[in-house]
Structure 1
């Protein structure tokens, strides 16, 4: 299954706890979309969130975010793991 990294700009006022809850919501919503959110990282200084996801398509990955909490990514990149 393809791997994607998506990049979000953190909305003003969003706290780390809010991001953790959004990730939990992704995990609950991902099954019907055949998506698996694996990890996420936060760069608080730059106001960015990065999510690593296995998904059949970028659209499927985005649908999970939209359904779970509405915080869709600014960009989604298909990536391949290097050695």
Structure 2
């Protein structure tokens, strides 16, 4: 499966609790599209949230986020990684 980083904008002031709730909402239905959301990060001041997932396609990621109530602004494939 491919990895994807998606971006949500206009989320100024998001709290850690709200981020966790949104992440759980995605995870509750992710299997229906074959997606596995790994992590989420936020910059509440800038209003940006990032999510890392493994999925069969960017469209699968978009569909899960849309159904969970927070459609992404962008979805990018992650084709290179270093640690």
Fold agreement, TM-score > 0.5: yes
Secondary structure of the equivalent of 1:30? helix
Q: Separation in 2 of the partners of 1:37 and 1:74?
A: 17
**Which blocks of at least 5 consecutive residues in structure 2 are unaligned?**
none
Aligned to 1:26: 26
Q: Which residue of 2 is the match for residue 60 of structure 1?
A: 60
Is the counterpart of residue 42 in structure 1 residue 32 in structure 2? no
* Deviation per residue, 1:10-44 (Å, 9 max, x gap): 44564332221111010101011000000011112
Shift of 1:82: 2.1
Match for residue 75 of structure 1?
74
The 1:82–1:15 alpha-carbon spacing in structure 2 relative to 1, beyond 3 Å, is closer
Instruction: Write out the 4+ residue segments of structure 1 that deviate beyond 4 Å after TM superposition.
Output: none
RMSD: 1.5
TM-score (norm 1): 0.87
TM-score normalized with structure 2 length: 0.87
Structure 1 unmatched ranges of 5 or more: none
